[in-house]
Structures are given as C-alpha cells and as structure tokens.
C-alpha cells in the first residue's frame, strides 16, 4: 500500500520510510512542484534537441565549435569569483550519500566531497530520500553510524576538518517515478536539487558555505542556461542572494566539449568550474559516433589513457577554457580501491595514481577526483607539490594550448585495437555492476576499481560498437552477438562457481546478464543503460 500523499500537490507512490516526513514536507514538495511546473517543459524540449543533434552527427560524422556563439568565445568576460569554501579544491572525493559514506567522505581529508545522487547511486526511493536526510543530519552534526558487521563506530571530526559538499543531482534524462505532480513524474534532477536546496541552502550559508552543485550529463549550453534559470528562480523563492549557488559542470559528453566557454558563460554568475569526466566522455563518443565507421572504434577501455592524443586535447582545452574565464579546472577520477591483502597490487596502482595526478597538476588542473580515502594523500601530495600554499593555479592560462575541432574526435590517433580480453572485461564489469545496481548499489568495487554507472555505460557501448563494426580480435575471432552471448554465459557460470549457489540465487545475476545483453545487442541503441534498468529497479 502506498503512503498517503504528504501534500495535496503531490502523489508520493512509495512505501513510507523512516523519518521521510522530515524530507517530504509540504513546503519542500510545494517548491519541487513549482520547479516542475516552471521548468520541466523546457527540459523536455532540450531532450528532443539532443536527439536532433545526434541525428545530425549520424549524417555528418563530425562536430565543430558553434558558429552562432563565436561572439561569446571572442568576448572578454569572467565567471563570478569562487567563494572561500570552494577556492581550494585540490582533492575531491566522490561517493553515494549512504550514512557510512557520508561520514567517511566528510572526514577523508579531501577538500571537497561530491555527494552523489547520480552515477554512484542507484535511484531507489530509499536512496533518494534517506540520502537527503543524511546530508541534513551531517550539517546538523547529528549523524553517526555503527557497522553491524564489524561493530566499528563512525562519527564526524571537527567542523574545520570536514570536506565541503558539492552535491550531484541526477541527469536530465531520468524521471522520478515515485513523485508525481500534475499527472506526471518529476524529473529526477528537479527532485534531487529541489529537496536539497530547499532544506539546506540557508543552513549551509549559516555554516559559512553554500548550496554547491555538480551538473552531470550536460550536452549543450542551452542545458546550462536552463540550470541557471532554475538557480535564479530557486534563490528568489527561498530569499537568499543571487549568486549564492555555485555549479561545476561535468564535461562528460563530446558535444559539451565543443561548448565549454558557452556553458561557463550561461552560468557565469553561478559557475564554479568544469570537470573532466573521462568515462562518461568516452561513452558519449561511442554513443554519438557509433555509426561513424572504423575510425571511431575505441580500443579496450584500459587502453584509452589520458595521454591519448584526443583525450589530451580534451583535458588541455578544458584547463585553458576554465582559466581564461576565471573558473576551476577539476581533473578526472582515480578509481583504484586499495587491497587489504595484496601489497604488490597496491604498490603498482599507487604509482599509476601518482603519475596520473602528477600529470594533471602539471597540466594546470586545480584539483582532481579520487574514489577512496586512502588515495586522498597521494593526490594531495601531487597537487601540494605544484600549488604549495596557493589555493589553485588559475593564473596558469595555458595560452600555449591550441585545439582544432578535429583533435577532439581523432579517435584513430590512438595506436591500440580492441582485444578479445577487452570484450571479456566489458562483459565481466557490465554484469557485475548491473547486478549490484539492481540491488540498489550505485558505487561498486569490482577487480580493485570503484565502478559506477559511467563505467557500465562504456562497457556495454564498446560491446555494441565492436559488434556493429565487425571488429576482428587478435585471436582471429570476430565480434558478433553470438560471441558476446557465449562470453556472457561463461561469466555467469564463473560467478555462480565463485560465490556459490545460495548467494547466486539470492542475487540478480540472471537479470543483470539479460539486461547487459539487451543494451549491448539491440539494434536500437538505448541512450542510457539506466533507463531500461530503472524499470527493473525495485524500491
């Protein structure tokens, strides 16, 4: 039986949760309703524009900087100065908003915690609502956690030692089926943003910080304009000064890479910076150029390092763009999860993480991401060595960087090919991640890496692309649907043997296997794996 609607404006179609009335207040739901009525139609139009843009890419197999915005790129302007709480961002930790992670991330020693309602969180109603509650509890310092397995207790450090929270709502493409206004579901982005902003904007100001956001999956400057209009509306609605909100945009789609300056311009009174989201970026390249022929075929995911020429073009353009406009440039994810059992694995991985963070700091980035608290000191050392006592290096303008339109999509500049083991790895990660996601887990440790929805997207997209391109692997086998099914069946059997019959039956392994094959093999390529997956998500 559904819970009674907490507001005549809203239909909440979900079982009641502990303390949900603290989040789903009438006033908060009224605010979300106003966001929905004022902005959802524009969001719908922008999703249609995405399809039109993709159709254009399919026809032309190319992209260019926007001619209609040349004046913005040529003009002299800067984004608003960073607030004190966001001026030093040299290390940022990412993760979902469950109670244990909330405490550990805030205590991690990182300057910023990306509190994630997006790719690191499966959007069960429990995760959506209780994640909000955990953040508010943290700001009120009434949060603690005792691990039921280990008995270990967790509590917050002193306020001065805590990371600054930058919250990431869901992307524009996702609905929130559990909350409806005016007869239709509210976009997940408006639910996540609306509840968090309404409850915490003034609370954060009182703490000397503010409502700060990461904006995911942005594909155009018009989508940034929509967010800016939402920020203006929201600040007026609750009566806080314009410009209090700050937003960092993930440049994790290939189309957004051609509109970085315009995205900053649209958000200029609220912009905090841009981030290089590498896995979703690769997914976006495959998605948009999937029928562009052999020159757009990506090799194995692990072969596409940040030193690949087209990835260098992307990151160096991002740093130059940000610093030209006075914004922070934030680097990509170090996803390694340290092993408690294998010191040699850790040694090799830590060296790779250090090299990655040294490169980013040397290239001019102002900070970078890690997925585990043990990586915070490594990344911190890399940026400390370059920054010293300076909070950032926005004064490094990188005027030596020159990126032509074709450089960003020169996939064939990378001297690497897809391999059979790459196919096996894509299937392994895909099945194991989707199974966890269907159980409500969005951030999952797989083979010593923290995987989220972005890495599952690149896995299934590469399977799709390699099959449709007829890739021949080094062992002579051709990528076909039959081969993918064979590898998936072998992986399912291996998982069953690895974890035992009881655990296998208790999980969602067959469901995950079937869903991976569906989104990897269907002729009609699904825009996002999470759309069909959400239909199967319980809760």
Helices (H) and strands (E) in the chain, counts: 18, 15
Three-class DSSP category at 435 = helix
- For 169-311, strand residue ranges (E) read 175-181, 184-187, 212-215, 246-251, 271-276
Calpha distance 318→247 (Å, rounded): 16
* Pairing assessment for the beta strands 144-146 and 11-12 based on DSSP bridges: unpaired
Beta partners for residue 180, in sequence order: 11, 185
Cβ contacts of residue 340 below 8 Å, gap of 6+? none
pLDDT of residue 89: 98
Point out the residues that are catalytic: 168, 452
pTM of the model: 0.97
Cβ contacts of residue 401 below 8 Å, gap of 6+? 316, 317, 319, 320
Torsion sign across C-alpha atoms 276, 282, 283, 287:
positive
* H helix or E strand, kind and range, residue 367: strand 367-370
- Over the stretch 246-270, which tens digit does the pLDDT of each residue have? 999 999 999 999 999 999 999 999 9
pLDDT of residue 341: 84
pLDDT of residue 9: 67
Calpha distance 296→6 (Å, rounded): 50
Calpha distance 124→438 (Å, rounded): 9
Question: For the residues of 301-365, what is the DSSP string, one character each?
Answer: GGG--TTSHHHHHHHHHHHHHHHHTT-EEEEEEE-B---SS-HHHHHHHHHHHHHHHHHHHHHT-
* Pairing assessment for the beta strands 184-187 and 212-215 based on DSSP bridges: unpaired
Calpha distance 512→492 (Å, rounded): 10
Q: Which stretches of the chain score pLDDT less than 70?
A: 1-9
User: Given the structure tokens 């590469």, which residue do they identify?
Assistant: 462
Beta partners for residue 115, in sequence order: 95, 167
Task: Please give the structure tokens belonging to residue 142.
Answer: 């009434």
What is the three-state SS of 73-101?
Answer: HHCCCCCCCCCHHHCCCCEEEEEECCHHH
Q: How many residues does the chain have?
A: 539
CB burial readout 44-79, b (16+ within 10 A) else e: eebeeebeeebeebeeeeebebbeebeebeeeeeeb
Task: Please give the structure tokens belonging to residue 499.
Answer: 């974890």
Q: What distance, in Å, lies between the first and last C-alpha atoms of the chain?
A: 13
């Amino acid at each position: 039986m559904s819970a009674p609607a907490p507001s005549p404006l809203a239909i909440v179609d979900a079982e009641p949760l502990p303390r949900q009335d603290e989040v789903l207040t009438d006033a908060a739901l009224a605010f979300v309703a106003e966001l929905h009525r004022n902005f959802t139609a524009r969001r719908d139009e922008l999703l249609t524009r995405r399809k039109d843009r993709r159709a254009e890419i399919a026809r032309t197999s190319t992209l260019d900087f926007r001619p209609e915005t040349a004046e913005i790129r040529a003009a002299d302007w800067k984004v608003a100065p960073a607030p004190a709480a966001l001026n030093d961002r040299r290390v940022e930790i990412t993760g979902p908003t469950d109670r244990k992670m909330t405490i550990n991330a805030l205590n991690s020693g990182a300057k910023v915690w990306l509190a994630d309602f997006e790719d690191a969180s499966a959007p069960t109603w429990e995760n959506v609502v209780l994640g909000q509650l955990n953040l508010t509890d943290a700001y009120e310092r009434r949060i603690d956690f005792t691990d039921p397995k280990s008995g270990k207790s967790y509590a917050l450090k002193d306020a001065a030692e805590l990371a600054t929270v930058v919250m990431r709502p869901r992307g524009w493409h996702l609905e929130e089926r559990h909350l409806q206004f005016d007869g239709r579901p509210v976009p997940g982005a408006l639910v996540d943003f609306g509840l968090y902003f309404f409850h915490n904007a003034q609370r954060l100001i009182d703490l000397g910080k503010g409502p700060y956001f990461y904006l995911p999956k942005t594909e155009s400057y018009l989508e940034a304009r929509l967010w800016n209009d939402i920020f203006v509306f929201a600040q007026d609605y609750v009566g806080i000064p314009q410009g209090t909100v700050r937003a960092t945009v993930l440049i994790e789609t290939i189309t957004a890479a051609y509109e970085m300056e315009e995205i900053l311009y649209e958000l200029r009174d609220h912009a905090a910076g841009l981030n290089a989201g590498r896995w979703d970026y690769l997914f976006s390249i495959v998605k948009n150029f999937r029928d562009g022929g052999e020159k757009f075929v990506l090799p194995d995911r692990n072969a596409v390092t940040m030193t690949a020429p087209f990835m260098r073009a992307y990151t160096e353009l991002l740093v130059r763009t940000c610093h030209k406009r006075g914004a922070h440039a934030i680097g990509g994810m170090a996803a390694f999860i340290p092993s408690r059992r294998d010191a040699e694995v850790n040694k090799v991985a830590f060296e790779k993480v250090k090299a990655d963070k040294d490169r980013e700091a040397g290239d001019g980035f102002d900070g970078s991401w890690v997925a585990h608290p043990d990586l915070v000191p490594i990344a911190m050392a890399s940026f400390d060595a370059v920054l010293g006592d300076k909070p950032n290096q926005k004064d490094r303008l990188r005027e030596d960087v020159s990126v032509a339109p074709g450089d960003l999509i020169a996939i064939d500049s990378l001297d690497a090919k897809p391999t059979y083991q790459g196919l096996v790895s894509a299937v392994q990660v895909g099945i194991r991640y989707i199974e966890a996601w269907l159980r409500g887990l969005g951030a999952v440790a797989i083979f010593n890496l923290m995987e989220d929805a972005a890495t599952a997207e690149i896995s299934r997209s590469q399977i799709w692309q390699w099959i449709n391109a007829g890739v021949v692997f080094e062992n002579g086998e051709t990528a076909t649907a039959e081969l993918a099914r064979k590898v998936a069946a072998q992986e399912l059997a291996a998982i069953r043997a690895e974890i035992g019959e009881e655990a296998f039956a208790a999980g969602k392994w067959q469901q995950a296997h079937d869903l991976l094959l569906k989104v990897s093999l269907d002729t009609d390529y699904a825009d996002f794996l999470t759309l069909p997956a959400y239909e199967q998500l319980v809760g």
